[in-house]
Amino acid sequence: MEHKNVNNHTYVAIMAGGIGSRFWPVSRTTFPKQFIDILGMGKTLIQQTLDRFLKIVPIENIYIVTSNEYKAIVKEQLPQVAEENIIGEPFRKNTAPCVAYISFKLYQKDPKASLIVAPADHLILNEHKFIEVCDEGLGFVNKHDGLLTIGIKPTYPNTGYGYIQHENKEVAPAVHKVKTFTEKPNKELAQTFIDSGDFLWNSGIFIWKVSHIVEAFRKYLPEMYELFMADLDKFNTPSEKNTIQEIYPQCTNISIDFGIMEKANNVYVIPASFGWSDLGTWNSAWDNMEKDYLGNAVAGNNVMIIDATKCVVHAPEEKLVILQGLEDFIIVDTKDALLICHKEKEQDIKDYVAEVKRNISDKFL
């Protein structure tokens, strides 16, 4: 497929620093969900993400931004990515410092750069459509002074996603101006959003020219801008690592959505449908896994199910699991932890993990 809007100034940053606590006990602090094959598809989420972007840009234009503690796992899972393209963050400071780091680094290296920023742990079923949308987005940001996000046409009133409201008229083919960003709504509000027809799920995938996002940091997060700009000449040199070590503790812990996208007046969105899920929870995994005739989704080689329905089961390959009589449950077995939890309580898994930390031991986290 010919990418008319991709040139050697196009880069991709895959964000892979998160902990994924709602996928506990498979996802652990030391080995989070982006490095796991949650759906039993034969490749981990970050491997699938890299494969997808290799269809858009060459490997040397892809950067992985992760936590220092995960650099070794990234190297192991993505051996084809050069070591200097695996960027370690010294502290977890949310997405704004993460985006600033890669943006200023590229700005120093190639001021004409365009950048796609995407999380490492999302599922995209229709790759062809996804690549088309990225092409459209790059075409737009290369011609307009705009920060672009990809919005997903909602299929049901999901309460776990943020929403983006857009204006009806297109400012360019497939591109709309954003009116508002809204945090996760309750069920009734989510239904209202869907009925109105001008709300999209916020996918957390962004496309922009690096010079435009640097300018947005100057306007909306000036302290962070100053920190990175003061040491711009250190990027892409041997002193980059020490510089980042000094910059990060001074950065505000803030998301790129809250810090810039919700404030800027040049934010645009492409409404899209390409079989997207942020795979945030076991329910979203269940939605996207193959199911038996009773609606059970199973990842594991030796799982035997006897009159159980609509369950999601994740078990080690070598372990025999026999499941009888449960309906709508999450059953996740690992070598040192077992979770059995009703599907409607999945948002509470984070709280259970916090309880484990407080009352039992953080060795299970």
**How do residues 323-351 score in pLDDT, each as one tens digit?**
999 999 999 999 899 999 999 888 888 88
Per-residue pLDDT at 4 exceeds 70: no
Per-residue pLDDT at 216 exceeds 70: yes
Res 47: pLDDT: 97
Per-residue pLDDT at 6 exceeds 80: no
Res 2: pLDDT: 52
Res 183: pLDDT: 82
Per-residue pLDDT at 28 exceeds 70: yes
Per-residue pLDDT at 241 exceeds 70: yes
Cα distance between residue 275 and residue 130, in whole Å: 9
Res 21: pLDDT: 74
Res 30: pLDDT: 86
Determine which of 19-33, 37-51, 214-228, 244-258 has the lowest per-residue pLDDT on average. 19-33
% of the chain exceeding 70 in pLDDT: 98
Res 164: pLDDT: 93
Res 63: pLDDT: 97
Res 53: pLDDT: 96
pLDDT tens digits, residue range 117-133? 999 999 999 999 999 99
To the nearest whole number, what is the mean pLDDT of the chain? Answer: 91
Cα distance between residue 94 and residue 170, in whole Å: 32
| Across 56-68, average pLDDT | 95
The Cβ of residue 170 has, within 10 Å, a number of other Cβ atoms equal to: 14
Show the 3-state SS of the chain: CCCCCCCCCEEEEEEECCCCHHHCCCCECCECHHHCCCCCCCCCHHHHHHHHHCCCCCHHHEEEEEEHHHHHHHHHHCCCCCHHHEEEECCCCCHHHHHHHHHHHHHHHCCCCEEEEEECCCEECCHHHHHHHHHHHHHHHHHCCCEEEEEECCCCCCCCCCEEEEEEEEEECCEEEEEEEECCCCHHHHHHHHHHCCEEEEEEEEEEEHHHHHHHHHHHCHHHHHHHHHCHHHCCCCCHHHHHHHHHHHCCCCCHHHHHHCCCCCEEEEEECCCEECCCCHHHHHHHCCECCCCCEEECCEEEEECCECCEEECCCCCEEEEECCECEEEEECCCCEEEEEHHHHHHHHHHHHHHHHHCCHHHC
Cα distance between residue 170 and residue 268, in whole Å: 10
Tell me which of 200 and 185 has the higher pLDDT. Answer: 200
| Across 177-196, average pLDDT | 88
Res 132: pLDDT: 94
| Across 212-219, average pLDDT | 97
Per-residue pLDDT at 1 exceeds 60: no
Res 3: pLDDT: 63
Res 299: pLDDT: 87
